[in-house]
């Protein structure tokens, strides 16, 4: 038997009761699961954190905390697809919604087909974004790994040069500089100071 597909769980944040009822009815008819409603942005953030919805329908103009700021906080704390609900469409508004992490928008009052389309778009874009974030993280980790010295390094017992993968013997500082993100700062250790610069070594000891 094929597994039963879970319903998409939707959180609605809208302070206009009539609009909320329109959305509720449409979600029920399309077999979505309404898991909660918020009447201000602060409630929306809290419910998104605790209820883990699959998507949030978020009104822009709400008391306490507006929808854009609520969306920004949700994406920062627990990323989830967000569809912005608005009565006024403008390029500036769309840009602001994109900047805070909204993946789609709906004009009010929303129609059933438009709600479904917006939810599908938002979930698809959010999945792509999460994939890009994951791949970028993996790439950064891979670059860090490349710059980290690992394994056994063939080191000459006499001149202390290191043999690389091509068989070439490198000075230690050149090898480290090429194969890691470390910078080399030359100095003289106390033992070498005693051996090669005994007079200076005695002066240093006398000043301690």
Q: How far is CA 25 from the centre of its chain?
A: 35
Return phi, psi of residue 34, to 5°.
Answer: -80, 115
Contact 118, 83 (CB under 8 A): yes
Return phi, psi of residue 56, to 5°.
Answer: -120, 130
Residue 35 pLDDT > 90? yes
Q: SS3 for 127? A: helix
Average pLDDT over residues 135-155: 70
What does 51-101 look like in DSSP terms, one character per residue? H--SEEEEESS-SSS-HHHHHHHHHHHS---EEEEESS--HHHHHHHHHHT
For the chain, domains (ranges, CATH) are 9-142 (3.40.50.2300), 162-207 (no CATH)
pTM of the model: 0.65
- Token pair belonging to 145: 């790994």
Q: How confident is the model at residue 205, as a pLDDT?
A: 64
Which is more confident, 152 or 148? 152
pLDDT digits (tens, 9 = 90+) for 154-193: 878 777 788 887 888 888 888 777 776 667 776 777 777 7
């Amino acid at each position: 038997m094929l597994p039963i597909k879970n319903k998409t769980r939707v959180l609605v944040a809208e302070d206009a009761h009539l609009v909320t009822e329109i959305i509720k009815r449409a979600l029920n008819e399309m077999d979505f699961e309404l898991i909660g409603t918020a009447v201000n942005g602060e409630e929306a953030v809290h419910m998104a954190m605790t209820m883990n919805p699959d998507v949030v329908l978020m009104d822009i103009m709400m008391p306490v905390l507006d929808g854009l700021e609520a969306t920004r906080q949700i994406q920062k704390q627990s990323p989830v697809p967000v569809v912005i609900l608005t009565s006024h469409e403008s390029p500036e508004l769309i840009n602001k919604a994109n900047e805070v992490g909204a993946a789609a928008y709906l004009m009010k009052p929303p129609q059933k087909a438009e709600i479904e389309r917006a939810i599908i778009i938002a979930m698809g874009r959010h999945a792509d974004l999460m994939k890009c974030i994951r791949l970028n993280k993996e790439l950064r980790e891979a670059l860090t790994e490349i710059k980290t010295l690992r394994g056994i390094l063939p080191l000459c017992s006499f001149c202390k040069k290191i043999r690389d993968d091509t068989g070439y013997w490198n000075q230690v500082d050149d090898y480290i500089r090429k194969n890691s993100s470390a910078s080399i700062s030359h100095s003289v250790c106390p033992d070498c100071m005693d051996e090669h610069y005994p007079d200076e070594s005695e002066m240093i000891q006398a000043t301690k």
